[in-house]
Structure 1
Amino acid sequence: MSAMFDLTGRVAVVTGANTGIGQGIAVALAAAGADVAAVGRTPAEETAEKVRALGRKCELVQADLSSIAPVGDVVAQVLEKLGGLHILVNNAGIIRRADAVDFTEEDWDAVVDTNLKSVFFLSQAAGRHMIANHEATGQRGKIVNIASMLSFQGGIRVPSYTASKSGVAGLTKLLACEWASKGVNVNAIAPGYIATNNTAALQSDETRNRQILERIPENRWGSPADMGGAAVFLSSGAADYIQGHILAVDGGWLAR
């Protein structure tokens, strides 16, 4: 059974790998045997240390995914430095908060460009390689997008984030429909409330923190490590017949 989850010989690209969920996923993939390309606006040195401590390679790829300009170079660097590209985790993302009646075009474009447009075009570039590799070797490619609870719910004061993450869910299904027969699995993880730097303000707000915990059946915030098992599963042979699925890892939030 363990062989089904073994990622030895695979190369995984994780965007937004510096901290939080991206780092947790990068480390988990390395623990399962994958070499990792950690992509971010700044070098993910801490992530690289954790990956290398597990005996795996980690290459740092600096790229600002607020535009699609670096997409081709990201794929080229990964292939040159690590010799393959078998797994892509689209984790990089941003959020801007304001009432819908006051939301600016600038904040809309910044979030949608990073969270949705770059996800598509990086998936496209990686998918081209994965499809060709499958034709040549029979090896399957794996794309794991990071969706959100707001792929299912509306939320408040985050219109562009909700739109982008709803778009990620739809894009996941679209790519699965197109690429399943070409040897690429495309799925997504929808994290619940995870204790990261991005949620520090919510965690420190006594009232909001209590309200959140009351809604979560697990009665705790998730950790970046909680995302790791789901990412390994969806990246592994154990998930070869799973396509277009958005897996909620939320402590039961959506079950309430």
Structure 2
Amino acid sequence: MSLENKVAIITGAARGIGFAVAKRFVMDGAKVVIADIDDEAGEAAVDDLSGVGEAIYIHCNVAERLDVRNMVAETLNALGDIDILVNNAGVVAGSDFLELEEEDFDRVLGINLKGAFLCSQAVARHMVEKVENGGEPGCIINMSSINAVVGIPNQIPYCVSKGGVSQLTSTTAIALAQYGIRVNAIGPGSIMTDMLAAVNSDKAAKTRLLSRTPMLRIGEPSEIAGVAAFLASSDAGYVTGQTIYADGGRLPLNYTVEVPDTD
């Protein structure tokens, strides 16, 4: 699945799943833009990839239209094209529903959903122009979640935003199909990122999580990156409007599974 000489923007790529996607894309031959608001982590991510391939860092708050416009312009100026967009930037705001603050709801929806819309629209405009001038169509990959389908009562903004991302994926895939531009999404289950690392030191929490996961393990960011690499490649040339759920079998499960005692 070669991405040789493709140019990819990955938002929220300074760490976690976004960084894993950036690393996989660079290994597959792509030139990568790491877009994030954490400048120190973003520059460190570029340094980490310096021995693997070409990557640059661009500061971008995806919820701000001007930031997004500047990110696209800087990418075109530095790398000359945009073939792939991965809308990965996301945040959470845990709270009981009755105590949830409006500003927290707005912040999560602004980054997770509005940000994906703003980036998709800005990049798609470039991609459409390229196609109309005889160039190859690109693709957009949105980072959804199993929580687009199932709910967590103290993570309402996050679940709502991911449900919106699923519909954003479906509708933009239809809107852009006439240009050959593909839009798909990935719905991770429990992945070993910084946000989930605490379960390794909390046996009860880990057992509860694994009891909902038939494969009885937590996924790795590199496994999500592998799905992204497939969706970005020509191997997925007839795939659009789809969400691939990489969740260890969680969504089909209608009960809990027994978790072996490893002590």
Residues 1:58 and 2:52 are matched in the alignment: no
Pairs within 5 Å for 1:140-151:
140-151=137-148
Q: AA paired with 2:115?
A: S
**CA–CA distance in 2 between the matches of 1:208 and 1:57?**
39
**Which residue matches 1:175?**
172
Query: What residue number does 1:39 align with?
Result: 35
Cα distance, 1:159 vs. partner? Answer: 0.9
Distance in 1 between the 2:19 and 2:75 partners?
A: 18
In structure 1, how many angstroms separate the alpha carbons of the residues matched to 2:156 and 2:10?
26
Q: In 2, distance between residues paired with 1:237 and 1:194?
A: 26
1:118 paired to 2:115: yes
Question: Is this contact kept in 2: 1:13–1:36, CA < 8 A?
Answer: yes
For 2:50, give the aligned amino acid. R
- Between stretches 56-65 and 144-153, larger displacement belongs to 56-65
Instruction: Give the residue type in structure 1 aligned to 2:209.
Output: I
Q: CA shift at 1:52, angstroms?
A: 2.5
Letter in 2 for 1:46: A
TM-score normalised by structure 1 residue count: 0.94
**Cα shift readout 1:4-47 (whole Å, capped 9, x = no counterpart):** x2111100000111111000000111111100000001231332
Q: Which runs of 5+ in 2 are unaligned?
A: 254-263
Deviations 1:135-184, CA, capped at 9 Å, x for gaps: 22341211000000111112221111111000000000000000011121
The Cα shift of 1:198 comes to 1.6
- What residue in structure 2 maps to residue 21 of structure 1? 17
- Alpha-carbon displacement from aligned partner over 1:82-104 (angstroms, at most 9, x marks no partner): 11100000000000001111111
Q: Which of the pair is proportionally richer in helix?
A: 1
Structure 1 residue ranges without an equivalent (≥5): none
Match of 2:65 among 53, 64, 68: 68
**Is 1:23–1:47's contact at 8 Å kept on the other side of the alignment?**
yes
Report if aligned partners of 2:62, 2:119 keep a CA contact under 8 Å in 1. Answer: no
Shift of 1:63: 1.4
Q: Provide the aligned C-alpha RMSD in A.
A: 1.2
- Match of 2:108, SS state, is helix
8 A contact 1:9–1:35 mirrored in 2: yes
Residue 244 in structure 1 maps to residue 236 in structure 2: no
**Aligned residue type for 2:38:** T
Given that 1:37 and 1:78 are in contact with CA atoms closer than 8 Å, whether structure 2 keeps it comes out as: yes
Amino acid at match of 1:32: D
SS where residue 245 of structure 2 aligns?
strand
Question: In structure 2, what is the Cα distance between the partners aligned to 1:7 and 1:121?
Answer: 25
Distance in 2, Cα, partners of 1:14 & 1:235:
12
Aligned residue type for 2:189: G
Q: Match of 1:248, SS?
A: strand
Deviating 4+ runs (over 6 angstroms):
none
Instruction: Provide the aligned length of Structure 1 versus Structure 2.
Output: 251
Bigger mean CA deviation after superposition, 35-44 or 89-98: 35-44
Larger radius of gyration: 2
Match of 2:258 in 1: none
Question: What is the distance in 2 between the residues matched to 1:194 and 1:68?
Answer: 30
8 Å contact 2:62–2:118 — kept in the other structure? no
**In the aligned structure 1, how far is the partner of 2:177 from the partner of 2:202?**
44
Q: Percent identity?
A: 36
Which SS does the other structure have where 2:112 is aligned? helix
TM-score by length of 2: 0.92
Q: In the TM superposition, what whole-angstrom CA distance separates every residue of 1:197-220 from its partner, at most 9, and x where no partner exists?
A: 122334433212111112212211
Q: Which moved more, 1:140-149 or 1:44-53?
A: 44-53
Aligned pair partner of 1:10 in 6, 11, 17: 6
Q: Deviations over 1:56-103 (max 9, x none)?
A: 211110112243330100100000011110000000000000111111
